[in-house]
Structures are given as structure tokens and as C-alpha cells.
Amino acid sequence: MILQIFDWVLLPVIVALAWRSLNDRDLFRAVIKFIALGLLLAVAWVRLRAPDVALAEAAVGSGLTGALILSALVRMRRREQAATSEATGGIEVMRRVSIGILSLALFAALCWAVVALPARPTGLTEASLARLSESGVTNPVTAVLLNYRGYDTLLEVGVLLLAIIGVWSLRRGELPAADLSDRPLLLSLLRVVLPVLVLAAGYMLWIGAFAPGGAFQGGALLGGALVLLMLGGLARRVVNRSRLLRAGLVLGVLVFAMVCAITLLLTGGFLQYPSGSGGAWIMVIESAALISIGLTLGLLYLGGRPTGGQGDSADRSSSDHA
Amino acid sequence: MSVLDVLTGLLLTAAVFFFVAGTVGLLRFPDIYSRLHALTKADNVGVGLTVLALMLQAENGSEIFKLGLIWVLVLVASATVSFLIGNEAYRRGQKPWTRGTP
Amino acid sequence: MSVLYISVAVALLLTIVLSLGYVFRQPGRADSLLAALLFGSTGVPLVLVLGRGLGLARALDIALVFALLAAVLGVAFVLRGWPDDDSKEDLQP
Amino acid sequence: MPDADHRIYLLAGAALFAIGFYSLLVQPHLLRRIMAVNVMGSGVFLVYLALGAQTAGVIPDPVPQAMVLTGIVVSVCATGLALVLADRVQAAMGKVEPGDDAEVADPAVPSPASGEPHQETPSA
């Protein structure tokens, strides 16, 4: 009963915030609303008893995505200050109305489809829980990710790598040259938060075997630590070691592929772990994935291939237009 | 219902009071500095009381430790971030409210 | 007991909703940054009590991530999110 | 949990998808469009997870949760790449709102110098 009240408060707010975040006239505030929407969605995942997803949404979905969009906005705003969006008109009313009608029709159709779904879908819960003991881990979500559907996760780590390759080939990223010397409080915040972030990342990896958590949540925290370092202007030494960085980025895919090859040789099945040792293999993959995911998510924030040192901002902006 | 449960209930009620007070402050205060003050201070007391209430219900030491860690993190983060916002607003020339200004 | 926890969760959610509604209605952009603070200091206890009310053992970890994230977001907001042209609202026609 | 609970979540998911769809078509700004796609994705996640929580038992279906987890990570990758592409579009065209030029041309406003890098003024 009281839970229903909770739902009836939470969901209308989520829908309203989604609308406002996409249609606010001020783009900056729209982005902040978008971040708030992500955090409320994380609360909704807690409510739906999906703690793994809540962890990922809180860290990746709203945190990193929000920071990414925010910094892209600032970057674009700086360049276009002279020519703001007033130069271009919006879409005329007629088209707006017809798209609105189309969207309403879509909404109605979706509602019909979604309500018509069977009340008790024949889920895979029983199938996946029945063989949990063979998977080598006790967290059902980790078992699905890395044992039953391991190739999904392999491809996903590949997608991360592709994304960062794409970003690096499109643009050069500038390290924010924040000066901490006049912000002593910020430095002390970093001193507290950074170690806890790294510790929590390791904890997420370890706990992922038995309970919600795992490489993605841990990697997101590691990425957050990297973002903080870059914001504080402290990451120059890390980010400029190009070889090491590249090695870290491909580590996840490499180790995963190697495990695939080894399991193929041992058992003759693609990602079929030898019986009983699934847990160990999963741990190896997850540890390598943690490093790659953390680096990838952190470096996405940079918005391009890191450039060496500072002071070449003119260079950088002209390379933007090459 | 044990004594601990009653205590938890009381602490949570007190926490809600502080959260509501913080919100009222946010809604009523005239400028960003006083709003920061209302939000940060009242909410931090609320967080402390909530954490204390849940500590009473904790099943083992690690839960108590984690709750304590969460509390410290929230304190450090909200104190610093509120300072940063206030400082930045002041640098950018937002005038603090004084008696007499509308 | 779980009814108590979830009632507290509803109360906290209501304060968040009210505050967000107010903060976003303010003209200055500095006020929207308060939203970051709000999620640190009210979102964390919300996740804590909601998780406890639902009997979700790992809610503590989620709250921990929320707390860490609020710190990252807060710093990102202040250091990079504050546009240089604070006075000018770029309104879309 | 009673079924009525989930209906709300399913409907909210559908609403998020439709809102994202509308904004994707109506909003000219690329950043808004990227956010719109993200909102559409969240709508799908909401429906999927609500369905997963609907299955009997205390433990919700782990398969949708694993899928959504993958979805979240993939969507942040796609967002990161899309943002950089939008940045390149702005650098090449001088604006972030691609569209029919005939429609947006306004003689009163001089068209932004194409691809002229804006010199950042150092802020205090």
C-alpha cells in the first residue's frame, strides 16, 4: 500500500523530469535535469529490486553520462558564444503538432502492447537459478553476464574499445587545466574521495561474485576517480603515458579473448569453462575488464585523444577544424 | 517491537523533521548563500540521524562500518561542494542578501 | 517495521521533489547546482531507508556509490559545468 | 508484488519512450537529440526491468537485469562517441543544429563564419 504511494510519487516525477529535461529552453538547465532524471531512475531500479542495475545507473548512467554531456556543452558553448542558437529557428508549428500526434499514437500503441503482455511472463529465472551452483559464482546476474551469456559481455568490452578508438580518431581532447592552488578545500576533498573510490572499485569487483556488483560497476567508479583526477588537473602524468594507457585499454578484450581460446582448447566449447572452475575464469576476466572499463569511461570524458602537455590550445583548436 | 525498534523509529522521525526543515529553508530563504546554509546543515543532521537509526538495526559490524563510511563521505562531500558553489557564486558577483534589499 | 521505512522513504522523496521543483524554477543557474547537493544529502538516506524497507541487503553499497557520485558530480558541476556566460540565458526560440 | 504496481512502471516506460521520440524529432540541437535517445533507452529499461520484477518469487529474473546492465554501458559508450561527433559537426558547420539551410536562413543574422575557431578568452 505504502509502496504504491511511493510509486505514484516517483513515476510521475520521472516522466515530468524527462519531459522538462528534453524541452527546457535553457540548455544548461536541461542537462542538469537530465542528470537528476538519471539519479531518480537509479532510485526506481532500487524499487524494482534490481540492485546491480541501480549501481550501474547511479555510477554510469547518470553520473558519467551527465558529466560527459555537461563538459561537451561547455566546450560547444565556448566556441559558439558569438552565434548562439537564436540564429536558427525551431521547427514550425505544423510539423511540431504532427510529430506530437505521431508520438501520442506511438505512446498509445506502446501502452496497449505493454499492458497486453502476459501478467506472468515465462521468465528464465528458474532456468538460470537452477544451474547457479555450476556457474562458479553465486550472484545470478554475474552468472548470466559471464557464464551463460559470456559472449555478450565479450562483445560489450569490444564496444567500449571501439567507442574509445572512435573518439580518439575524431578529436584531440584537452586536459582541463584547473588550478588547485587557490582551491585548497577541493584538494582535501579529493584526498578523501579518491582513495575511497578506488577502494570501492576493488570491493565491487570482489563482491560481484556473490552479490550485486562486478567489473562494470567497479570500472565506473574507477572511471569516476579518473574524471576527478582530470578535473583537478592531476591526471597529466597518467594520461600522457600513451603506451601504458593503450595497453590498459585493450587489456580487457585481450584477456577475454585469451580465455575464450583457452576454454575452446580445454573443453571444445566457446567460453565453456571446465566444470567447477568457472569462478576462477570469471575472476580473471573481470579483473582485466575492470581496468579497461575504468580507463575507457574515464577517458571518454576527455572527449578525444589526450594531447601532451598544456599551453598548445591554439594548436588544438585549429586541429579541430582540420 | 523491541526498544531498539522504538529508538530507530524516533531517530527516523527526527531525521524527517530535519529534512523537512531543510526544504522549508530552501523554499523560503532569499539568496543562494542562505539556501546553501539551510540545505547543507539541516540535511547533514538528517543524514546523521538516519545513519544512526539504521546502525541500531545493523546485523553485523561491516554494515555499521559501511554506514559510518557513507556518513563521513556525505559530510565531506556536501560541506565541500556547498563551499565551492558559494565561493564560485561570490566570485561571479552574486550579491548576498542584506536586510532592506527586496 | 518495513512500513515505517517506506513511509520515511516517501517523505524523503517528497522533500526531494519539492526542492527540485523550486530549484529549477529559480532564474539563476547557481541554484540548479544545488540539485547536486540535494542528491548527496537526501538521495543517500532515501536509498538507505528504501533498501532497508524492501529488505534489499545491498542497498548500503548503492548508497555508498550515490555518496561517491554526488562528490564527483558536485566537483564536475562547479569546475566545468558553470558556463562562462552565466548572465546570459541562451533561450531557444 | 501485486500486478497493478507493474502496470504503472510499464506505462511510465512507454511514456519515456514516446517523450524521447517526440524530442528527437522536434529538437534541432544535437545535444538535446543525444539526451533524447538516452531517455528512450531508459524507457526500454524501465519496461524490461518491470517485467523482470513481475516474475514470481522474491528474486527477480536475473536475465533482464544483466541485459539492462549491458545496455547501460553500451549507451554510455554510444553517448560519448555521439558527443564527439556533434562536436565535429559544430566545428565543421559552425552550428550544432543541422537542418535545411533554406529553412533556418535568417538574413538579419549574419551566418556564423564557417569553421572559424573561437578564441577562448581566459577567464579569471
Segment A213-218 mean pLDDT: 80
What are the cell numbers at B39?
540545505
Give the model's pLDDT for residue C91. 39
D122 in any annotated domain: no
- Please report which confidence band the pLDDT of residue D21 belongs to, taking 50, 70 and 90 as the band edges: very high
Segment A213-227 mean pLDDT: 86
Give the model's pLDDT for residue A149. 65
pLDDT, greater one: B90 or D57: B90
- Please report which confidence band the pLDDT of residue D79 belongs to, taking 50, 70 and 90 as the band edges: very high
pLDDT, greater one: D100 or A313: D100
Domain ranges of chain A: 139-322
Interface test with B, best of A179, A182, A186 (most B CBs within 10 A): A186
Query: Average model confidence (pLDDT) for chain A?
Result: 79
**Burial letters A60-71, b for 16+ CB under 10 A, else e:** bbbbbbbbbbbb
D106 in any annotated domain: no
pTM across the whole model: 0.85
Angle at B27 between CA B26 and CA B33, to 5 degrees: 40
- Please report which confidence band the pLDDT of residue A113 belongs to, taking 50, 70 and 90 as the band edges: confident
Residues of A in contact with B73 (CB under 8 A): 192-193, 196
| Residue contact B26–C64, C-beta within 8 A | no
Give the model's pLDDT for residue D2. 45
| SS3 label, residue A172 | strand
Segment C26-42 mean pLDDT: 78
- Give the total residue count for chain A: 322
Give the model's pLDDT for residue A32. 86
Q: Which of D15, D65, D109 is nearest residue A52 as measured by Cβ atoms? A: D65
Segment A201-207 mean pLDDT: 87
User: Is pLDDT above 80 for C70?
Assistant: yes
User: Is pLDDT above 90 for C11?
Assistant: yes
| Residue contact C48–B22, C-beta within 8 A | no
pLDDT, greater one: D101 or C35: C35
At a CB cut-off of 8 Å and minimum separation 6, what does B33 contact?
Answer: B86, B89, B90, B96, B97
Residues of C in contact with D123 (CB under 8 A): 84
Give the model's pLDDT for residue C50. 93
Give the model's pLDDT for residue A163. 92
8 A C-beta contact, residue C46 and residue A43: yes
User: Is pLDDT above 80 for A240?
Assistant: no
User: Is pLDDT above 50 for D110?
Assistant: no
Say which amino acid occupies C58.
R
Residues of A in contact with C91 (CB under 8 A): 25-26, 86
Calpha distance D116→A311 (Å, rounded): 20
Domain ranges of chain C: 2-81
User: Is pLDDT above 70 for D40?
Assistant: yes
D37 in any annotated domain: yes
- C30 touching chain A per CB within 8 A: no
**Burial letters A198-207, b for 16+ CB under 10 A, else e:** bebbebbbbb
User: Is pLDDT above 60 for D116?
Assistant: no
pLDDT tens by residue, B17-71: 999 999 999 888 888 888 888 888 888 999 999 999 999 988 888 899 999 999 9
- B11 touching chain C per CB within 8 A: no
pLDDT, greater one: A84 or A168: A168
| Residue contact C41–B39, C-beta within 8 A | yes
Calpha distance A61→A64 (Å, rounded): 6
pLDDT tens by residue, A62-91: 778 888 888 888 888 777 654 444 444 556
User: Is pLDDT above 90 for A142?
Assistant: no
| Residue contact C18–B67, C-beta within 8 A | no
- B10 touching chain C per CB within 8 A: no
Segment A20-45 mean pLDDT: 88
Nearest residue of chain B to residue A195 (CA atoms): B73
- Distance to chain B for A190, nearest Cα, Å: 9
Segment A19-45 mean pLDDT: 89
- Distance to chain B for C2, nearest Cα, Å: 11
Segment A304-312 mean pLDDT: 61
Residues of B in contact with C44 (CB under 8 A): 47, 70, 74
- Please report which confidence band the pLDDT of residue D73 belongs to, taking 50, 70 and 90 as the band edges: confident
Where in the sequence is the domain holding D79, given as residue range(s)?
Answer: 3-96
Q: Work out how many domains chain D is built from and give that number.
A: 1
- Partners of residue A306 on adjacent β-strands: A173
User: Is pLDDT above 60 for A320?
Assistant: no
D50 in any annotated domain: yes
Give the model's pLDDT for residue B46. 93
- Please report which confidence band the pLDDT of residue C81 belongs to, taking 50, 70 and 90 as the band edges: low
| SS3 label, residue A306 | strand
Nearest residue of chain C to residue B2 (CA atoms): C1
Q: What is the CATH number of the domain that holds D69?
A: 1.10.287.3510
pLDDT, greater one: B101 or A48: A48
Nearest residue of chain B to residue A187 (CA atoms): B80
Nearest residue of chain C to residue A36 (CA atoms): C35
| Residues in C lying within 8 Å of B, measured between beta carbons | 1, 4-5, 8, 11-12, 15, 18-19, 22-23, 28, 30-31, 33-34, 36-38, 40-42, 44-45, 48-49, 52, 60-61, 63-64, 67-68, 70-71, 74-75, 77-78, 82, 86
As a three-state string, the secondary structure of A186-251 is HHHHHHHHHHHHHHHHHHHHHHCCCCCCCHHHHHHHHHHHHHHHHHCCCCHHHHCCHHHHHHHHHH
**Residue A269 DSSP symbol:** S
What are the cell numbers at C92?
531557444
Q: Which secondary structure element, helix H or strand E, spans residue D17, and what is its range? A: helix D3-26
Cα D82 to Cα D20, D22, D48, D87: the distances in Å are: 16, 19, 25, 9
Give the model's pLDDT for residue D22. 94
Residues of C in contact with B55 (CB under 8 A): none
8 A C-beta contact, residue A251 and residue A292: yes
Give the model's pLDDT for residue A319. 39
Give the model's pLDDT for residue C57. 77
The interface pTM score, or ipTM, of the predicted complex is 0.86
Lowest-pLDDT range of A134-148, A244-258, C34-48:
A134-148
Lowest-pLDDT range of A84-88, B81-85, D16-20:
A84-88
